[in-house]
Structure 1
């Protein structure tokens, strides 16, 4: 089955089980909303789906193909199919780098061609002016830094984009711009999007279906879905 999926994934930190046989599926071109209280494992699920954290049990698949390992133990052609945008751009960006270098990171990691041209193109798409590209994170606003992180997340034109409270720290106009950029990318490339947010209005406007998290532990492979179709 096409899509990005977690299958019966379990993750524990020490004695605390954060995910217990959790499953979820994001299809190509659809936006799946995920809502639940803080501390219920949503961010850990994102890290597992993004291939940044290997689960203790279960696995992730992309378009039906199981993926083993995490980070650089996964082939570049596989891991670059998934982009992720975190809540805090300050935590997600190296404070020593310029915005241009932050955007260029995934391109350099895969030895892409025409990196400088691609950085300018991505910055423009994300709403960053060229003068901002020379600045380091401390010299820009949270909104500007999150736009750079968005540009970085889209660098490889991912098939799946994971948004973990990505608009929480932004003002209304920047929220709208980030959502518009992601929606445009989704329409152009058929990208599947996982949207985690506590904003019910954003969830209602954007998500094709919404899952309440954590799922019923009596039926761990099935989450509760709602008819929020658009």
Structure 2
């Protein structure tokens, strides 16, 4: 389980997050909703081990996280992958898409063109796109490459931070389908961050609302929406 407990993050005098707790359970999709500026992306970065909180703890599969970013143990870092809302700032503009997708594999000492092609096909990228650089493809095509990169090392937890916001409906549906299939196949835990409650209602097993304490979570089925107070339920 990936768990944040009592997390507080401050930027100067402003608290981006204050005493926030959240669990991402393997085999389930947790939705995270809330208004702009409530700290959803900040929480995503904390859970992805990219931002050290000012207070609180993060635990990854029972192991307390004591170091962050590149100082975190590699065996912990590779268990969590983060997919950003905007793909262009998240990639090196000099690299062709094949190298964008293959970055985690190269860093792990496992470069493999076959694996890159497999990931590209999985996310709906045609072979002719792999030699193009980010400025030569659309936002949707680049986000497909970013999802392929996020899945390259088969993370145990995948954090999708508004990954579909800038995409057309067909690309959105395809990428959500890829993530759903990956979660079902591997038993990974997924944190789906979005302001689109219709999307989260279809995708997530439960939805947590950030920015309206106490948090509210909802379990949604075809017949009912049940309010739950305990995030651990």
Give the TM-score normalised by structure 1: 0.93
Q: What's 1:51 paired with?
A: 49
Q: Are 1:226 and 2:224 matched, yes or no? A: no
Alignment of 1:76-225 (within 5 A): 76-112=74-110, 114-216=111-213, 223-225=215-217
Q: What's 2:226 paired with?
A: none
Q: Is the 8 A contact 1:209 1:229 kept in 2?
A: no
Q: What's 1:60 paired with?
A: 58
RMSD: 1.2
Instruction: Write the distance in 2 (CA, Å) between the matches of 1:25 and 1:192.
Output: 10
Structure 1: 5+ residue stretches without partners: none
Instruction: Write the distance in 1 (CA, Å) between the matches of 2:131 and 2:173.
Output: 25
Q: Deviations over 1:9-66 (max 9, x none)?
A: 1111111111111110010111111111000000000000001111111121112211
- For residue 5 of structure 1, the aligned residue among 3, 8, 26 is 3
Q: Is the 8 A contact 2:86 2:166 kept in 1?
A: yes
Instruction: Write the distance in 1 (CA, Å) between the matches of 2:190 and 2:65.
Output: 19
Instruction: Write the distance in 1 (CA, Å) between the matches of 2:104 and 2:69.
Output: 12
Q: What's 2:229 paired with?
A: none
1:214 counterpart SS class: coil
Instruction: Write the distance in 1 (CA, Å) between the matches of 2:107 and 2:34.
Output: 34
Instruction: Write the distance in 2 (CA, Å) between the matches of 1:45 and 1:167.
Output: 18
Structure 1 ranges of 4+ moved more than 2 A: none
How many residue pairs match? The answer is 222
1:37 counterpart SS class: coil
